[in-house]
């Protein structure tokens, strides 16, 4: 009976572990991103941050995501994330979680103004969490990201502003990062905007594309991404 009890306890523990891990849904495409937009209250801030991240990291042909900055240096508002609230799965040996996007943390590299301004307007809640594995390669430290999450802190009214809200927490796949990278940070080419509109079946007409281009300037592709995701959500 004691052995049976221990087996039952182990089974329950495993079920709880699997349920907690599987609770973080993965987003694989722009379509998936559009479908969950209503879950993210600081939606535009999260999208701006995610767009910046996708266009900042390196992704090679093997789908390895490599950091181009130092999370230990507090670059881009980064700091170690301890997962105290067990939002994510327990860390394997040799891995570390980092949180990115806190505009109040000073580092040698800062987030671009269009991300900082958005965060200021909505209370500095949007975050990206990455799981990083460090390797020694030719006497250099190589940091490879094998998990990416988008999340946000609770609203101030929840009185849990230091914790992350599990509802708008999603795993971001390499496929989605590659899709977002099709919207570069430095282009207002109208032909590219038309191509992206058609690819993602947006109903933005040419006059709306011109308005996005005039409003957003070199960030016109980001403006179109926000239009595609947010307009679809609010429709």
- Per-residue DSSP letters for 92-152? PTTEEEEEE--TTS--SS---HHHHHHHHHTTS-EEEEEEEEEEEETTEEEEEEEEEEEEE
Residue 193 is predicted with a pLDDT of 97
Instruction: Round to whole Å and give the CA distance between 112 and 119.
Output: 11
Residue 11 is predicted with a pLDDT of 40
pTM for the predicted model, two decimal places: 0.84
Task: Find, among 112, 130, 105, the residue nearest to 51 by Cα.
Answer: 112
C-alpha dihedral sign at 223, 127, 130, 100: positive
Mean pLDDT of 200-213: 95
Residue 1 has pLDDT above 60, yes or no: no
Residue 19 is predicted with a pLDDT of 39
CA angle 111, 83, 136 (to 5 degrees): 70
Task: Find, among 161, 123, 149, 105, the residue nearest to 42 by Cα.
Answer: 123
Which of the residue ranges 2-11, 124-133, 141-150 has the most confident prediction, judged by mean pLDDT?
124-133
Least confident interval from 106-120, 154-168, 185-199, 217-231: 154-168
Mean pLDDT of 8-36: 64
122: confidence class by pLDDT, cuts 50, 70, 90: confident
Residue 132 is predicted with a pLDDT of 94
Could you give the C-alpha distances from 31 to 36, 160, 179, 222, in angstroms and in order?
9, 31, 10, 16
Residue 9 has pLDDT above 60, yes or no: no
50, two tokens: 């995610």
Residue 31 has pLDDT above 60, yes or no: yes
**Mean pLDDT score across all residues of the chain:** 84
DSSP letters along 163-192, please? SBPSTT-EEE-HHHHHHHHTS-SS---HHH
Task: Output phi, psi for 46, to 5 deg.
Answer: -65, -40
226: confidence class by pLDDT, cuts 50, 70, 90: very high
Bridge partners of residue 145, in order along the sequence: 65, 132
Mean pLDDT of 52-69: 92
């Amino acid at each position: 009976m004691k052995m049976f009890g221990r087996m039952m306890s182990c089974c329950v523990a495993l079920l709880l572990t699997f349920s907690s891990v599987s609770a973080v849904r993965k987003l694989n495409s722009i379509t998936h991103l559009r479908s969950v937009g209503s879950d993210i209250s600081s939606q535009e801030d999260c999208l701006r941050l995610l767009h910046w991240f996708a266009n900042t990291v390196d992704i090679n042909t093997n789908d390895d995501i490599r950091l181009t900055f130092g999370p230990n240096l507090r670059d881009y508002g980064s700091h170690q994330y301890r997962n105290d609230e067990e939002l994510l799965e327990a860390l394997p040996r040799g891995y570390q979680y980092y949180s990115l996007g806190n505009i109040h943390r000073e580092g040698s590299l800062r987030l671009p103004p269009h991300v900082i301004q958005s965060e200021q307007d909505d209370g500095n809640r949007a975050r990206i969490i990455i799981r990083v594995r460090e390797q020694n390669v030719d006497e250099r430290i190589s940091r490879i990201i094998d998990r990416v999450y988008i999340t946000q802190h609770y609203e101030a009214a929840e009185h849990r502003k230091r914790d992350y809200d599990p509802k708008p927490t999603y795993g971001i796949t390499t496929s989605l990062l590659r899709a977002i990278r099709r919207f570069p940070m430095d282009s207002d080419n109208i032909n590219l905007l038309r191509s992206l509109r058609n690819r993602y079946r947006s109903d933005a007409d040419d006059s709306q594309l011109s308005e996005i281009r005039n409003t957003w300037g070199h960030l016109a592709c980001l403006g179109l991404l926000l239009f595609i995701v947010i307009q679809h959500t609010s429709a």
